[in-house]
Amino acid sequence: MNKTEEICVRPNIAKPLLSRIGPHNASLIRIVLAEYSAAAEELSQLAPHATHPPITLSFVHTLLSSFNISMAQLRVFAISIIPYGFDQATRDLMKLQAKTIMGMMPLRVKWLDAKNEPEQLEKVIEGICARENGWEKADYYEDVDSKIGLRWASPFSGRLWIKYGAE
């Protein structure tokens, strides 16, 4: 397992991409948009030894450098926070916090609704930004969409976003 695979805790995706577009073309990338699960963030805080580590700037720097991309060259690097839902991280979090409701759909929906309250999701963003110097809360239309430079209607514009703050 190479260093990037260790950091990502998954196979390196850079090599197949670079073989398709070439390393020089990858270095021309100026916009990177990603997603990160709110449940994965909370889970990494509650059970740090049992889950993947939380997302960090050093992880992002290392991942992008495997594509020959520097954070400094990007016009925008933003992460959409995926609300709590039916992903594996949410299931694992529910097992830790509310195992007794796992088989009862009405109670699961109620638990998810409580987790997806705007105040709860704001706390996730505040936690990431407090932990990782350089990231800040972003407004999608002001901080992300305005820097993309083309007409693109993101289906995730209503989500909360964070961005790399170096301008």
- Please check the confidence at residue 108 and state whether its pLDDT lies above 90: yes
- Round to whole Å and give the CA distance between 101 and 82: 22
Q: Domain-by-domain residue ranges, the chain?
A: 3-84+121-164
Residue 78 or residue 47, greater confidence: 78
Task: Kindly report whether the global pTM for this prediction surpasses the value 0.85.
Answer: no
Q: What is the chain's mean pLDDT, rounded?
A: 84
pLDDT in tens, 9-39: 445 555 666 676 676 677 778 888 889 999 9
E strands, the chain, where?
A: 31-37, 76-82, 135-138, 161-164
pLDDT score at 4: 45
Separation CA 50–CA 42 (nearest Å): 12
Tens-digit pLDDT profile for residues 115-148 = 999 999 999 999 999 999 899 999 999 999 888 8
Angle between the N-to-C axes of helices 38-46 and 88-97, in degrees from 0 to 180, rounded to the nearest 10: 40
Q: Strand runs (DSSP E) across 2-158, as ranges?
A: 31-37, 76-82, 135-138
